[in-house]
Structure 1
Amino acid sequence: MESRFQHLFLIRTAALCVGCLLWAGAPLSLAQGADDEDELGQIISPDIERRTIKEEMIDSENFEFGAFYGLLGIEDFGTNDVVGVTMAYHITEDFFAEATYGMSRLQKTSYELLSGGVELLTDEERDLTYYNLSLGYNLFPGQIQISDKWAFNTRIYLIAGAGNTQFASKDYFTYNFGAGLRFFATDWVSFDLSMRDHVFTHELFGESKETHNLEGRIGLSLFF
């Protein structure tokens, strides 16, 4: 009987010890959880600095008006100054349509210079004008980095079209093709370096002759 009482006493004592340990360990566990949350908050900070993007600096003008100066080489009539204007509409980001009007003045041919007095064209007939409508395709967008603070967008383009060339009191159907580099100084001003080939056929020397007439130009364009 005494042994039975001792047994019950030991069981109750052990149960009390376990209860005390559980009661003491619960606050420790809660405190450890709070410390973990504090450390996590220090690692993942909710304060993030946001960049401000000025959307008004990104323009979307589709119309372009420009003027150009260059040199136009007409077969048998030398290389001459050429000036003109352009008007373009940017259909999409890649394609654009361009109308061009140019003026130049022809030199005398080598035959006229060597013959002494023969003139194939009168003074008025040496005035050359042309106009054409072309379709351009923008490719290879890039950027020129001048310094750490100055960078300008560039774009290479291809262009081809057809129109008319007038000189010697006649009109000649002309098709043209070429390529250029556009340099954007700002979002509404660009400089243009390009080379064009104007191809037409004439019979000024008694027989039909197809001529390739190269033009190099530099232009300034405004977008609006």
Structure 2
Amino acid sequence: METWIQRLFLTLALASCSLGTWAQAEEDGELGKIIAPDIERRQIKEADLDSENFEVGVFAGLLSIEDFGSGAVTGLTLTYHITENVFIEGAYGLSEAQETSYELLSGGVELLTEDERDFTYYNLSLGYNFFPGQIYIAKRWTFNSNFYLIAGAGNTEFAAKEYFTYNIGGGLRFYGTDWLALDISMRNHAFKHEIFGESKATNNLETRFGISLFF
């Protein structure tokens, strides 16, 4: 009698273990489908960027010559990028001074000849890029961009004389491609002259738009 009862309990225990194992397998199968779904991975290819450090450009804009009005300015730039953020820029620009208010009101007095009204400058400046980011145009175009500050010194030729000049400014540069950059900036060219008989410090503000190529 005891042997029969022991066999009965043993049979029930084996059946219970088998049912538990089957239920666990079913549960693992469902969890496996939830935790490890079959995902198709996309292959992404990043564009190779040029690593050239030199940049040559042209610019055009408006130069306000203190006491002599505003006129068009054009010029050239050559830039060497020391690091990703620091660069050296050499610039050459030319413009032409307008008549002063005194000349306009006097009706015939000329303080400067036509040749003396030519305004040319060249300088060497150190720049620093900051706030790198992106500019979005519509939904299809995205361009990398950088704000920058720049300061330097050089020479200005005006009124048949040369003046040591400081320049300081800032701008926004954004990259149309990996070799083409567009630039919008403002500069101040500060120097002293004695055109009116006494030494005077002047600030000559320039707004310009430029385009440059990397090589």
Instruction: Name the TM tier (shorter chain).
Output: 0.7 to 0.9
Which residue in 2 is equivalent to 1:5? none
Identity of aligned residues (%): 61
Task: State the Cα distance separating 1:87 from its structure 2 match.
Answer: 1.4
In the alignment, structure 1 residue 221 sits paired with structure 2 residue 212: yes
Which of the numbers 17, 31, 50 marks the counterpart of 2:41? 50
Task: State the Cα distance separating 1:43 from its structure 2 match.
Answer: 0.8
Which of the numbers 82, 88, 93 marks the counterpart of 1:91? 82
Taking the aligned partners of 2:97 and 2:204, their CA distance within structure 1 comes to 12
Which residue in 2 is equivalent to 1:4? none
Gaps of 5+ in 2: none
Cα shift readout 1:32-68 (whole Å, capped 9, x = no counterpart): 2321231122112353333333223444443222110
Which residue in 1 is equivalent to 2:64? 73
Alignment of 1:122-133 (within 5 A): 122-133=113-124
Alignment of 1:49-198 (within 5 A): 49-198=40-189
Gaps of 5+ in 1: 1-9
Taking the aligned partners of 1:72 and 1:210, their CA distance within structure 2 comes to 17
Taking the aligned partners of 1:214 and 1:149, their CA distance within structure 2 comes to 36
- The normalised TM-score by structure 1 is 0.84
Aligned residues: 215
In the alignment, structure 1 residue 40 sits paired with structure 2 residue 31: yes
Task: State the Cα distance separating 1:143 from its structure 2 match.
Answer: 3.1
Task: State the Cα distance separating 1:111 from its structure 2 match.
Answer: 3.6
Task: State the Cα distance separating 1:117 from its structure 2 match.
Answer: 4.8
Task: State the Cα distance separating 1:177 from its structure 2 match.
Answer: 0.9
Cα shift readout 1:61-103 (whole Å, capped 9, x = no counterpart): 4322211001111122221211001111222332222111111
Two-structure CA RMSD over aligned residues (Å): 2.2
Task: State the Cα distance separating 1:122 from its structure 2 match.
Answer: 3.2
Bigger Rg over Cα: 1
- The normalised TM-score by structure 2 is 0.87
Cα shift readout 1:155-201 (whole Å, capped 9, x = no counterpart): 32221111111122321110011121223323322221111110001
Change in CA separation of 1:50 and 1:64 when aligned onto 2, cut-off 3 Å: farther
Secondary structure of 1:22's counterpart equals helix
